Structure 1
Amino acid sequence: MNFQIDYFIKSNPAIIENKQLREPQVLSYLDAYNHFNEENSARDAVIILPTGAGKTGVIGLVPYGISNGRVLVITPQLVIKDHVFESLDPSEPDNFWLKREVLSSYTELPIVNEYDNDINQEELENSNIIVLNIHKLSTRFRNSLLQRVGPDFFDMIIIDEAHHSPAETWQNALNYFKNAKVVKVTGTPFRADRKPIEGKVITEYRLGRAMQQGIVKSLENFRLLPEQVYLTIDNDPTVKYTLEEIRAQGIKDENFISRSVALSKECNDQIIDESIKALTSKREGSSIPHKIIAVACSIEHGEDLEGMYQQRGLRAILIHSDLDKKVRKQLLTDIENNRCDVVIHVAMLGEGYDHKYLSIAAIFRPFKSLAPYSQFIGRILRKIDESETNRPSDNIGVVIAHRDLGLDPLWREYQKELKISEVIQKVKEQEKQEKRLQRELDRTYNKDVAGVELDGLLDVESEYYIATELTQENEAFEQEMARKIQAFKQLLPSSSEEELRKFILSQEKPETENPLLKSPKKYRMLIRTEFNNNVHENIPAQLISEFGVEKENRDFASAIPSRYNFIKNKESLDNAGIVTVYLNTKLKEQFGDRDDWVLDDFFRAEEYLEDLVKNLIEMIESTIRRD
């Protein structure tokens, strides 16, 4: 690929009638085009999209036909930055533009680089898009981007998760690049300081619309309703109070009640059991690796929940900000590669984290404001591709919470999809309560809480966020399932409904058994050997032969992206070594250490490797000619 400063003006992407793009992506692009070209507006453009509607794709689209030069993409945190860069990275075979058929070949792609300590000035100047974390713009950062480029270096700035934009670092950057067009993309219409996001809202795509269009999962909310809840206070187990008595007598406030419920083992047990029941139901007769995502009050609370899930036989992992960076990265890799059943997080995956198999949101902490509550639920909204799904419920996310966590008002607000001004006003009212609650949760784990006792039966009620075609299909599916169960009940009267349901689902999706799976270790080692031979021998030999180069030379080095300079510049690597090391590096980034792979990882890696090699061939073709 050759650098062109006017690349975004000269390119001819397929956007308007592209059936691979989602409705909000096309609408956002059209609104941005009209805003900057037809209206000639100098105001910042604000695009509000719900989680799962394709925000990263919008970032990849809006420069075309609008930006006259380089584009800077700013993200607020590393998790989001990594996701955006990986989605736009031309060296990834499933990068957004090729995956959605916006562009048809590698040579048409823009040059995209991540701003880090290793990028040199030539690579910086020869980039169409630079992606960075906001901290790399800080003047306190020794290698700050602001110290390396002039104020007119970028023609467009795109701010991801723009509700973070009032911070001093953001404002300094926008002031420095004051002539650049600014596009702010967010799922939240208010800033971190609870003021409206500066600029003109050009697109506001509602969550209800996204559900109706089947762009995101539909939602079903489950409330756990124990028949009776008693609290014992001041370490006196002899006196029990009902919640009604606590409230009527003004003994404790609502924060105390919700905190006590959140931290009680009894209530945690009920939420865990219901979330496992939901997970089991989704996984029955399905190969989809549905997962639970849980939110805890504190790290100590998260550790307790992790142990409780593990005691029930589930693979649970806990992610929080105190973890070492390498440990955290490995855990995220384990999630992506389906090596867990439950993800418990503490103020870590609230926004920007994207994994479509998160299908059940288990809430173990009270919330007092809409923003963090909606961000957490947003983690289960990402739609699973229809080619993978077996039944409607695969794309219905489940929210599970205890009634006495006091979350009903937030669910109602979430359902209303209030107008921006109303949301802002509501958030202002809630913000002080939320901050106070979080301080209490961090400080008072298992302190200043009541003992909780439950009595009677547990009832569970549920409701859909909004009726959609998918929820109607699911109702019809469940009605047909009930009819089949009753029919089989007459033939097998001693079988339970649960056993009959499992039997029916298994018949609808029969599995063929591979005889080698009776010796899984032997089979895995066989697959591993074949896979390694492919990466180390067959593929390098294929490319060397196909391009007519000598194995001992280094022709392929020029095709390797600059972010892999440790491969590109290593003189001891010949053509075969360059291919092998590059493929192994990409595979490790995607799936982690091969020593930790299970059988399913090898199957998925085989599919990824096929696309990776096709992309590598295009990269090589763009730099050298075949004989």
Structure 2
Amino acid sequence: MGYLNNADVIVANIHKVYSSTSRKALVNILDADYFDMIIIDEAHHSAADSWLKTLKHFNAKKVVKLTATPIRGDDKEIDGEIIYKYELADAIKEGLVKNIVAEDYTTEKLEFLVDGQLVDKETALEAMDKKWVTRSVAYSTACNRTIVEMSLRRLNEKRRQGLTHHQIIAVACDIEHAKEVKALYEEYGLNAAVVSSDDPEDAEDVIIEYKKGQLDVVVNVNMLGEGFDHSNISIAAIFRPFRTLAPYAQFIGRALRRIPEGNDTIDNIAHVVYHTELGLDDLWTFYTGQRTKAERKKVLEFEYYREQGKKQDRDVGEVNAHGKVVVNTKEFLTDGVASVYQDEIRESIRLQELKIQNVADMMKAAGHSESDINEYKASQKRSLDSEITEKRNKLREELIREELHKIHKEDIVNRVEELFVETGIHPKGNELPNRTTSVFLKNSGTNDAYVIKYINSSLKNRIKRGIDEWEAYDFEQARTLLPQIIQAIYEKIRNLEG
């Protein structure tokens, strides 16, 4: 309790604040008037039972709710008065997040199998309903293949003409469907994996691989909503209908984190790719703010098929797709960014081809044979592919190092937190720096600063270089050394009592 009473601000997740089973939860150890203000992040969850009971226990005079998704999962408004609002459009204009282009695809002819007969969409809607049509499209291999191919096209052009190792995030109806989508991506040579809320341990491993750049695509089911940030995601591929705005907006949001070193006209454009007949146009319209909140109630009538942890029968029909792929492009800001993106891609390709052609023309003028010229062109293409592969590998190495650094930091923070809890020594006390003979450590001032300095200097001395110069194997060595270093700090704390 002492360290809580000495704090001006207490940061905790809801599981530490409220629990019906833990006596250490804040609602069980703090008085009702303990807080003057409560700030709730991700406030679209504030209607959850745990938050309602928390707010009932604490009678704070001010409750501030923060959210990027101001609609609850049940499509109701969040309680409270809006005192500040920052529009996504403003964030895009000011370069804080990526710009957004939505592309819905279909083929010239779609046929649905109804009662043993192939019929067009209008007939299928009359015979069945909109839910049946959207689910049938969602589970259709032919329709899914179209979205895989179109998202792959965007991925390839971004990787070839951009500056970053771009990746795809996809969302599926259920686990079996996600596996089917994964298999389709693998058919085209991409490394793909599935994550779901059913297997959080496996999902954690997949996410680490994904952030390292070792996966091209991650297909998720009921995961990777809020709180998952990875700037290299620039293509959001949707393979399922959505019923409400909140999960739809959260999914698109995963592709919006800006790439600091990226090219604004290629790298910092997020593409949302989906099949036309998934019925997502209304949600896009709401998402871009073109309709009022009241209209939302009237339009969002269909429900999507969703896995609830058990295998369920699919109430869907077979869908046949024929003819050319037809695309409809929509922009978040209607600022022409889609055209600028395409122009930039075409210009980049044109300059590459022009450079090769100029040399080929000079070779022809110098009397080289046609076969020599063709071999030169082929070698330049191989060289370009090699450069792209080299760039991709370099970017992957940087991603791996960045992720290992993050894991290393989290490991230290968790171990240090556990150390202070187990020993009872106050992080902001000064016993450790006061008792040391090291001038370097004595200048730490507080126990927590001392511990961090001790860990970092110990690792630097043993690995023989600073963390900025570490390779992947150095992080692995640090992982094995850290328990020994922490144990040495435990001994120093015990000696304080002696």
Superposition TM-score, scaled by structure 1 size: 0.58
CA distance in 2, matches of 1:476, 1:231: 37
Match of 2:368 in 1: none
Match of 1:433 in 2: 302
CA distance in 2, matches of 1:481, 1:244: 42
Residue 389 in structure 1 maps to residue 262 in structure 2:
yes
Q: Partner amino acid for 2:278?
A: L
Deviations 1:531-590 (A, max 9, x none): x9xxxxxxxxxxx9xx96299x9998964479xxxx89xxxxx95799449999xx99xx
Match of 2:424 in 1: none
CA distance in 2, matches of 1:504, 1:460: 33
CA distance in 2, matches of 1:350, 1:507: 36
Are the counterparts in 1 of residues 195 and 220 from structure 2 also a CA contact under 8 Å? yes
* Partner secondary structure for residue 107 of structure 2: strand
CA distance in 2, matches of 1:219, 1:513: 24
Residue 201 in structure 1 maps to residue 82 in structure 2:
yes
Are the counterparts in 1 of residues 135 and 305 from structure 2 also a CA contact under 8 Å? no
Residue 140 in structure 1 maps to residue 20 in structure 2:
yes
Residue 354 in structure 1 maps to residue 229 in structure 2:
yes
Provide closer, same or farther for how the CA distance between residues 579 and 359 of structure 1 changes in structure 2, counting only shifts above 3 A: same
Deviations 1:343-371 (A, max 9, x none): 11111122232221111000000123322
Q: Partner amino acid for 1:272?
A: V
Shift in Å, 1:463: 3.0
Q: Map residues 462-481 of structure 1 onto 2, 5 A cutoff.
A: 462-468=329-335, 474=341, 477-478=344-345, 480-481=347-348
Provide closer, same or farther for how the CA distance between residues 499 and 215 of structure 1 changes in structure 2, counting only shifts above 3 A: farther
* Partner secondary structure for residue 281 of structure 1: helix
Are the counterparts in 2 of residues 556 and 578 from structure 1 also a CA contact under 8 Å? no
* Partner secondary structure for residue 178 of structure 1: coil
Shift in Å, 1:222: 1.4
Provide closer, same or farther for how the CA distance between residues 429 and 581 of structure 1 changes in structure 2, counting only shifts above 3 A: farther
CA distance in 1, matches of 2:238, 2:380: 28
One of 154, 169, 178 as aligned partner of 2:59: 178
CA distance in 2, matches of 1:378, 1:576: 37
Match of 1:243 in 2: 121
Provide closer, same or farther for how the CA distance between residues 138 and 359 of structure 1 changes in structure 2, counting only shifts above 3 A: same
Number of matched pairs: 424
Provide closer, same or farther for how the CA distance between residues 306 and 508 of structure 1 changes in structure 2, counting only shifts above 3 A: closer
* Partner secondary structure for residue 110 of structure 2: strand
Please report the RMSD computed on the Cα atoms of aligned residues, expressed in angstroms.
Answer: 4.6
Superposition TM-score, scaled by structure 2 size: 0.71
Shift in Å, 1:128: 3.7
CA distance in 2, matches of 1:232, 1:580: 65
Shift in Å, 1:373: 1.7
Are the counterparts in 2 of residues 317 and 331 from structure 1 also a CA contact under 8 Å? yes
Residue 409 in structure 1 maps to residue 276 in structure 2:
no
Shift in Å, 1:167: 2.5
Q: Partner amino acid for 1:264?
A: S
CA distance in 1, matches of 2:96, 2:209: 26
Provide closer, same or farther for how the CA distance between residues 445 and 313 of structure 1 changes in structure 2, counting only shifts above 3 A: farther
Q: Map residues 212-231 of structure 1 onto 2, 5 A cutoff.
A: 212-231=93-112
Match of 2:484 in 1: none
Match of 2:438 in 1: 549
Deviations 1:384-420 (A, max 9, x none): 11xx2145210000011111111122222222354xx
Q: Partner amino acid for 1:367?
A: F
Deviations 1:448-470 (A, max 9, x none): 21112111222233232224486
CA distance in 2, matches of 1:318, 1:510: 25
Match of 2:430 in 1: none
Deviations 1:189-239 (A, max 9, x none): 3334544322221111112222122221111111212011112234x3xx3
Are the counterparts in 1 of residues 197 and 223 from structure 2 also a CA contact under 8 Å? yes
One of 121, 127, 134 as aligned partner of 2:7: 127
Are the counterparts in 2 of residues 354 and 382 from structure 1 also a CA contact under 8 Å? yes
- 348-357 or 269-278: which moved more? 348-357
Are the counterparts in 1 of residues 162 and 266 from structure 2 also a CA contact under 8 Å? no
Residue 161 in structure 1 maps to residue 42 in structure 2:
yes
Residue segments in structure 2 that go unaligned for 5+ positions in a row: 362-372, 409-432, 480-498
Match of 2:175 in 1: 299
Q: Map residues 480-495 of structure 1 onto 2, 5 A cutoff.
A: 480-481=347-348, 484=351, 487=354, 491=358
CA distance in 2, matches of 1:513, 1:161: 35
Match of 1:363 in 2: 238
Match of 2:212 in 1: 337
Q: Partner amino acid for 1:457?
A: K
Match of 2:319 in 1: 452
Identity %: 33
Residue segments in structure 1 that go unaligned for 5+ positions in a row: 1-120, 533-543, 569-573, 589-593, 610-627
CA distance in 1, matches of 2:390, 2:314: 51
Match of 2:129 in 1: 253
